[in-house]
Structure 1
Amino acid sequence: MTHRDRFRAAVGGLPPVFWTLWTGMLLNRLASFVATFLALYLTQERGFTIAEAGRVVALYGVGITVAGPIGGSLADRVGRRFTMLLGLVLGSASVAALGFTRDPTALAFLAFLAAATGELYRPAVNAAVADVVPPADRRRAFGLIYWAVNLGWALGLAFAGVVAQRSIVALFLLDAATTLAFAFVIVARVPETRPAGLPRHPPLEGLLRVFKDGPYVAFLFLNLAALVVFTQFQLAAPLDMAAHGVGPSTFSFLMALNGVGVVLLQPTLAPQLRRFDGAHLLAASVLLFGLGFGVNALGGSLPLYVLGVVLWTVGEVVGFPVASALVSDLAPPELRGRYQGAFSMTWGLAFTLSPIFGGELLERFGGPTLWLSCLGVGGAVAIGHLLAAPPRRRRLAALGVAAPDEAEASGAAAPEA
């Protein structure tokens, strides 16, 4: 197979609306800095203690948690396009206001509001991708979006550390600007993608249907536990690194290394991973998260931090596109937004629980205890994914989603099994 054939296999056959959303996600992620720098902003520029900052950062996670079901319900009842625009415009305004606020109570409220409004768009974007991309191409499509997100992340963080040394507020303003730019892209190029004629369930009824789906709920709990480990970069990792002499610029370099790693690894690994069982990939992914943060227990040197970032970066590449495709495959068309909203909610809960657990363990028991706990949770969740796989496979088979080996035999790469 030539390089041209490989390129066509990787990006060919996807609709124009997908590529417009892909471009908007790339643009938005060029300056998505709040989650990464909020803890440093609160402790270094606003005088918060570690525990106080942890509680405010947790409120940011609560905002994401709330945004998931609200954004998902709006995407199913009102439409994908309106929901994306509402979230992006309100999110941009909230992030900009966060940078100019000094009152502790107002900072806490705006941290919540920035996430609650700014993350409304995410379930709608993912539902729109599922609307326009057939099941056989979804793992590939979500992998490409994941690649774009990390390309933007890497490019943005390449200069974010230098800017942060002078003004974290400037980073928040850049974040607000790129969020608003994504909204303009949607206004210009994205139509409504929700299929016509689908039933519109009342908000509560639709959510109850999601949470009655046993295999999906099991996946959500496992995904939440995995993300609590993964999101330790939000608070505990930068503060522990700072205690070992690693400042904002070096932390920014490590986060950029994560983004660059995804950009380089995703095109290489993704074609090789398509033939593997999804449950095995999810288990390997969370185990790599645990190892990546667990190595920090060995000391506070830069080489160990680099090794850790490499490990959990590989874990991202292995598991995140599989998880996104799985959500789309399990969701009935009329509930795609709500299924995506519940999936987004696990991210919000992780952003809520991670700084609470991480901050408390770090402050009370020290870094080694925290990082070894991450390793233990990673191993336990990996086993959980393997045990939860059979019911999920039966559910996907009933929905007519082919297993990876079946798709390979027919010449297509199918999503998660």
Structure 2
Amino acid sequence: MPRTFWILCGGMLVNRAGSFVLIFLSVYLTQSRGFSITTAGMIVALYGAGGMLASLAGGFFADHIGRRATMLGALTLGGLGIIGLGFARDLRVIAPMVFAVAFFGEAYRPAMQAAVSDLVPAENRVRAFGILYWAINVGFSIGAILGGALAQSSFLWLFIGDGVTTLLFAFLIARAVPETRPTPASHAAGSARRGVLHDLLAPYLDGPFGAFVLLAVLTMLVFLQHVSTLPIDMSAHGVQRTSLGAVLAINGIVIVLLQPFLAPYLQRWNRSYVLAVGASLIGLGFGLYALARTPVGYGVGVLIWTLGEICVLPISNAVVGDIAPSHMRGRYQGAYGLSFGFSGLCAPLVGTFVLQHFGGHTLWWSCLAVGVIAAVGHLLLAPALTRLREERIAQRATSG
């Protein structure tokens, strides 16, 4: 793997080791700021809305001004915004700041993923995204434990630590990461003449790729309950903040221990079949929370949906990298990233509404049902998505 790839992995590890705020945001809003569950859900949804727009903007700027400039600007503004958010007290200040932090802080992701696709050839892309995913989760496992300890003493330190590690990642990019964007070709210039709207919509109109993104949305609607309703449900059942952090840290620890061994095995199978298994496991893991009452029960659920996450996230990023034309990698990664942003918007709104008005049983059984629906969708889409992926790889081999 190229040196720049390893620098990006190291930067992501540091950044994720300090990504405290999103994990504890719903708990912070309800326990420290005294907002209702519904209000907290709406604020967390604003983070999802900002992230949704960040995916589109980050992908667009990654293709037009470069991967490096996009990452550097987004991380710098995001880090400063997170620190400022820690000092906000009024709802009228917190709500727009959460949106702004998400917009600026998440816009680096499509650019980083496009840079990885630039640096690594197709035959090594699943391995590369697996390594990056592994590094992210080493950081997450550290961050969840540290975040739980910090939240127990002072929520303010969550925001300061998160912002500082984000700025450290920006500093690393400024010093050691060159531009990786391919030289714009004539067809890229023609695309620009068709306008910004065409650029943003093109990935969704690309055959089965739009359906692939829709299935990602369904899966993420379930998966992202771990940053909205799951901490609230655990707290309601008497789980302390330190235990909450330790339970969520199981996610990163399992990925760190198992992902390197599972990745070679998963690569042997059709990508869509692996995604179907992953969606099923994510649904099952969250469905188990209808029965969980103790940290051990919640931990078992984390273990199951983490296995599903291992099947879904690295494989999906590799599929996007394989399908995207080289001059549109940022926009395709942004289009896929939109599934996270849109789900980040809807998951807390829907999840907290169901939790408050219908209870945990209804919420968690619904998560199981949505996971199964997404799995069936991946199985139905498998033939068309596989053909598109193979066609794009063959086209690049012929032209390159």
Corresponding position: 1:167 with 2:183 = no
Q: Share of identical aligned residues, percent?
A: 46
Structure 2 equivalent of residue 19 of structure 1:
6
Corresponding position: 1:215 with 2:202 = no
2:198 & 2:255 partners in 1: Cα distance? 38
CA deviation vs aligned residue, 1:354-402 (integer Å, no higher than 9, x gap): 1111101100110011000000001111000000111111112222359
CA contact (8 A) 1:135 1:401 kept: no
1:396 to 384, 389, 398: 389
CA contact (8 A) 2:248 2:299 kept: no
Corresponding position: 1:33 with 2:26 = no
Structure 2 equivalent of residue 83 of structure 1:
70
2:180 & 2:393 partners in 1: Cα distance? 22
Where do 1:4-83 residues align within 5 Å? 14-83=1-70
1:244 to 237, 240, 258: 237
Per the TM alignment, residue 291 of structure 1 is displaced from its structure 2 partner at its CA by 0.5
CA contact (8 A) 2:122 2:393 kept: no
* Unaligned 5+ runs, structure 2: 396-400
2:22 & 2:146 partners in 1: Cα distance? 16
Structure 2 equivalent of residue 92 of structure 1:
79
The one-letter amino acid of 1:66's match is L
Where do 1:130-279 residues align within 5 Å? 130-198=117-185, 199-200=188-189, 201=192, 202-279=195-272
2:223 & 2:370 partners in 1: Cα distance? 11
1:343 & 1:35 partners in 2: Cα distance? 20
> What is the DSSP-based 3-state SS (H/G/I as helix, E as strand, rest coil) of the residue aligned with 1:400?
helix
Per the TM alignment, residue 156 of structure 1 is displaced from its structure 2 partner at its CA by 1.9
CA deviation vs aligned residue, 1:203-228 (integer Å, no higher than 9, x gap): 22211221211211100000010001
2:93 to 106, 115, 123: 106
CA deviation vs aligned residue, 1:12-46 (integer Å, no higher than 9, x gap): xx111111111111111110112111111111111
1:56 & 1:192 partners in 2: Cα distance? 35
393-402 vs 307-316, greater mean Cα deviation: 393-402
Structure 1 equivalent of residue 398 of structure 2:
none
Corresponding position: 1:381 with 2:387 = no
TM-score (normalizing by structure 2):
0.95
The one-letter amino acid of 1:156's match is G
The one-letter amino acid of 1:39's match is S
The one-letter amino acid of 1:267's match is P
Per the TM alignment, residue 302 of structure 1 is displaced from its structure 2 partner at its CA by 2.4
> What is the DSSP-based 3-state SS (H/G/I as helix, E as strand, rest coil) of the residue aligned with 1:195?
coil
Corresponding position: 1:120 with 2:107 = yes
CA contact (8 A) 2:247 2:295 kept: no
- Deviating beyond 6 angstroms after TM superposition, the runs of 4 or more aligned structure 1 residues are none
Task: Please report the RMSD computed on the Cα atoms of aligned residues, expressed in angstroms.
Answer: 1.2
Where do 1:319-358 residues align within 5 Å? 319-358=312-351
The one-letter amino acid of 2:301's match is G
1:274 & 1:181 partners in 2: Cα distance? 34
TM-score (normalizing by structure 1):
0.92
CA contact (8 A) 2:24 2:231 kept: no
1:397 & 1:182 partners in 2: Cα distance? 35
2:393 & 2:203 partners in 1: Cα distance? 19
> What is the DSSP-based 3-state SS (H/G/I as helix, E as strand, rest coil) of the residue aligned with 1:47?
coil
CA contact (8 A) 1:67 1:117 kept: yes
* Unaligned 5+ runs, structure 1: 1-13, 403-417
CA deviation vs aligned residue, 1:188-207 (integer Å, no higher than 9, x gap): 11111001133242422211
CA contact (8 A) 2:50 2:102 kept: yes
Corresponding position: 1:287 with 2:274 = no
CA contact (8 A) 1:210 1:338 kept: yes
The one-letter amino acid of 2:351's match is G
CA contact (8 A) 1:286 1:315 kept: yes
1:334 & 1:28 partners in 2: Cα distance? 28
64-73 vs 390-399, greater mean Cα deviation: 390-399
CA deviation vs aligned residue, 1:139-177 (integer Å, no higher than 9, x gap): 100000000000011112222211101111101111100
Q: How many residues align?
A: 389
The one-letter amino acid of 1:37's match is F
291-300 vs 393-402, greater mean Cα deviation: 393-402
Per the TM alignment, residue 250 of structure 1 is displaced from its structure 2 partner at its CA by 1.0
2:294 to 292, 298, 301: 301
